[in-house]
Structure formats: structure tokens, C-alpha cells
Amino acid sequence: MFGFGRRQAGAPEAKASAAGRVATMGLAGRPVWSPRDTVTLTRVGFSGNPVGFRAVKLIAEAAAAVPLTCCDAEGRLEAHPVLSVLARPNDAQGRGEFLEALYGQFLLSGNAYVEAVGGGGLPAELHVLRSDRMAVVPGPDGWPAGYDYTVGGRTHRFMVGEVSPICHIRAFHPQDDHYGLSPMQAAASAVDVHNAASRWSKGLLDNAARPSGAIVNTGEGLTTEQFDRLSLEMESYHQGARNAGRPMLLDGGLDWKPMGFSPSDMEFQKTKEAAAREIATAFGVPPMMLGIPGDATYANYVEANRAFYRLTVLPLVAKVGDALAHWLGRHGGEAVSLTPDRDRVPALQAERDAEWARIAGADFLTAEEKRRMLGLPPGGE
């Protein structure tokens, strides 16, 4: 997926998608900006929402902790320069911190960008770039010809040459040719509902958890000055937790009518819990793992954790590992693959033990065939 739009000099045929020019008609040579506002989604759905925050952190941390196996055409390798690069991507980040940032950017924006520093073979350093600062620059054939990274009004353009300096990993988006669709965007409506319900709860607490009542004028109408004075006194002396229970003195023909919510008016709490489940569903996290009540999809936490790794974490690690391996392999001139090592994931240990026992008990398989099915290097290496 990297290096789109390259043509070798003197080549009789150029490899280019016939649909590329049509898909980006009229956009050649100009940046195609994402229609999503990643900054707002991150602020509202991650920084300002506990469910979105925990879902992203849970997935990113779990995915970053999954060990990766490096394989070539012969089988699994115990040591390889690609593994060395990922073990310490740069001076400021170790493997776990680097991968957590990479997965986090992918989950929040649907896109992840990695910059290669240093030329001539494998990169000397790898850096995760912020997705909200990056823009794809399509070439004449519609495929990316470069990437613009903008910070503080200054833009640096990464040009796509024989080997791209940028690894762009994107989620599937059915209506965008250059950018991925993030789970946060799919959960945006649920995030708004959840945040609104939280603000509503805060407002109730500030007003003793109920609309205290109404001031009814039983005499002459209030002048503007009287109304303003009454409003100011209400805000200053009768609102907020510290003023709860303070008696109110009324004059001028005013009467106090207490009010309260009916049980149906308090259904917003169930709405909030439903919104939280929708956010968890968009990210692929079992609600049970986020402490969301009312969900009995899984019999216990162990089963939910196993489904979380099998359906969410491992597919994400496999996708990112495949993209990184292809990109780094282009830099190093050697085709390798990076796959999650399921044998070293505690949540899947029971499944792997059963798989090992089943393959080991298959007498019709040779030792080499068993090793290959288990993803082990040949010959006991």
C-alpha cells in the first residue's frame, strides 16, 4: 500500500489502478482533507468521556503488550533487525510506549502514521505522527504522492519515492479513498448522549437532585428591577451543594410551589448506560470489562476477556503488524512478516493448550507439519 503512483523509467507498462483517476477526479495535486474533526472527537470522546477513554486505553495497552513474531520464507526468526528496530524505535520511546501511541492514534482517528528517520536500509528511528496534523496529497493518478504534516502554521511535505518515508495505516472506510473510519466517529452520537447525561446529572446535583420548585406570583407583576434582584438572590443563596436546604424568604405576593421528578423523568440514567454500551460496542470492548451494568452477554469476566482478545485485540495487532512488516521490509530489502504470538497471550492460553494437544495427538502428521501448523521454525531451530 506504500509507494503508490511510482513509475519506473523506461518501463513499458505502468502499474496503476484504472479507478484511481476517477475516484479523485478534480483533486489531483491538492491535499484531500478529512471530513472528520479529529481534534474535537478526541477532546469530546476521549479526554472528556470516561467510557471512550477507558475503551481506547484498554485496547491500546493490550495490543501494545502482545508479543510479535517475525517470520521469513523459511519460518519464524528468533532475532531480526526489524525486531531490533521495534524494540527501541527512538530515544524517547520504548516498544510499548511507541506501539500504544500508534494504536491510540489509529483508534481515535482511523489512521496511524509512522515516520522513518534515516536512509539506506532499515530506519534508524521510528516516530508516530499525530493523525490530526497529517493530510494526504494525491498525485495525478489519484494515489498518495506525498503527506503534508502541519504544526503551528508550518507544513513539511513527505514525498513518496521508491520507498515511502511514511507508513500510513488506515481503517476501512467505505466512502473515503484516503482516510480510515475511526470507532470514535461511529460512536460520536453515543458519546454526545453520554456526555449530555453526565451534564444533566451534574445539574441535578447542583440543584439538590430535583427542580426545587417554582416561584408563583400571587399579587402584582414584578418590575424588571425586582425580577433581576430575585434572580440574583436565587443564584447566590439557593443554588449549589453548599446552599442545599437553606430556607427561602419571599415577599411581595410571591408563593413557593415545590416540584419533583416523576419516575419516568429519571430514565435518563438508563439512557446513559445504553449510550455507554454503544460506545463499548463501537470499539469492540465487552461492556462487562468497562464496568457497565446491565450486560450479561458473557457468562463471566474470563470469557469476556478471551472474546476481547480474540475479536478486537488480535485482529488489530495483525493488521498493524502486517502493514509495518511490509513497509519495513521495503526499507530493508527483505520480505518479512510480523504476526501476534498467541502462545504468549495469557488470555488465550487455554485455547492454545487445547490446540497444541490436538495437533500433537494427530499421528498422521509429521513432526515438521506439526511445527508448521503451530508456527514454529523447522528442524527444532
Q: Which of 221-235, 288-302, 322-336 has the lowest average pLDDT?
A: 221-235
> In which order are the strands placed within the sheet that holds 166-170?
125-129, 111-117, 166-170
Look at the alpha carbons of 161, 165, 169, 170 in this order and tell me if their dihedral is positive or negative. Answer: negative
Percent of the chain's residues with pLDDT above 90: 44
More confident residue, 336 or 240: 336
Q: How far apart are CA 227 and CA 8, in angstroms?
A: 79
Over 70: is that where the pLDDT of 163 sits?
A: yes
Residue 46 has pLDDT above 80, yes or no: yes
pLDDT band of residue 329 (cuts 50, 70, 90) is very high
CA dihedral sign, ordered 76, 81, 82, 87: positive
Query: What's the confidence (pLDDT) of residue 371?
Result: 77
Between 206 and 242, whose confidence is greater? 206
The least confident of 123-132, 220-229, 339-348 is: 220-229
Q: Is the pLDDT of residue 7 over 70?
A: no
The DSSP element (H or E) to which 358 belongs, if any, is helix 349-360
Distances in Å between the alpha carbon of 369 and those of 75, 96, 362, 373, 375?
12, 33, 10, 6, 10
* DSSP classification of residue 180: P
* pLDDT per position as a tens digit, 118-138: 877 899 999 999 999 999 999
More confident residue, 17 or 84: 84
Check whether 77 has a pLDDT greater than 90.
Answer: no
In angstroms, the CA 274 to CA 295 distance is: 10
pLDDT band at 26 (very low <50, low <70, confident <90, very high): very low
* DSSP one-letter string for 216-239: EE-SSPPPHHHHHHHHHHHHHHSS
* 46, 321 contact by CB (below 8 A): no
Does residue 66 contact residue 313 with C-beta atoms inside 8 Å? Answer: yes
Asked whether the beta carbons of 87 and 95 are under 8 A apart, the reply is: yes
pLDDT, averaged across the chain? 80
pTM of the shown model: 0.77
Give the pLDDT score at 285: 95
| 170 vs 301, residue with greater confidence | 170
